[in-house]
Amino acid sequence: MIARFAATFAYLTVFLSILSSEYLAKMRKISGLPFLKAHHILARTVVLLILIHPLSLALEAQDFRIFLPVFYPIEMFLALGGRTAFYLFLLAAGIALYRRKYKNWKNVHYLNYLAFLLVSAHALLIGSDFRLDIIRMLVFVMAVVVIWIFIHKRAGAKTKPRKNENSV
């Protein structure tokens, strides 16, 4: 029961975190906090929940192989995509902690989008709380929104005018 709660709420919180990065002003208005503070609260919650989910399953089954990603066959990779996503989320969160040291930290942080899609596949294929058609449609819509946000952010990053270092 703890694993299911952690998984479902981690999924929703990751979605909110990604969504908040697209709507900075609205996030500030809703939360009453500066964007980064609100975003980091969501991110810390996600990390805690994604640690609880597999850990509680591993303890219940007394099998820690749950932490080992499976890459082949593709059906198993997608069904157990949460395993790979676990490491992608941790890597993306970890690099954000050191964003001042790494100029291109955002490129690694974008792994959150891929991880969300892997978790979506994982939830749809083996998630016990994702069996209802309405929930499955919601997951599909959320995945499409995340893909749109990723494309919008990447396209926006390439078309933003750069400051001319020579201009005063």
Q: Could you give the CA distance from residue 54 to residue 3 in angstroms, rounded to a whole number? A: 7
pLDDT at 163: 52
pLDDT at 164: 46
pLDDT at 35: 87
pLDDT at 14: 96
Type of residue at 15: F
Asked if pLDDT for residue 8 goes beyond 80, the answer is yes
**Host H or E run for residue 129:** none
Q: Could you give the CA distance from residue 84 to residue 119 in angstroms, rounded to a whole number? A: 9
Can you give the pTM of this predicted structure?
0.88
C-alpha dist (Å) from residue 90 to 3, 100, 155: 18, 18, 25
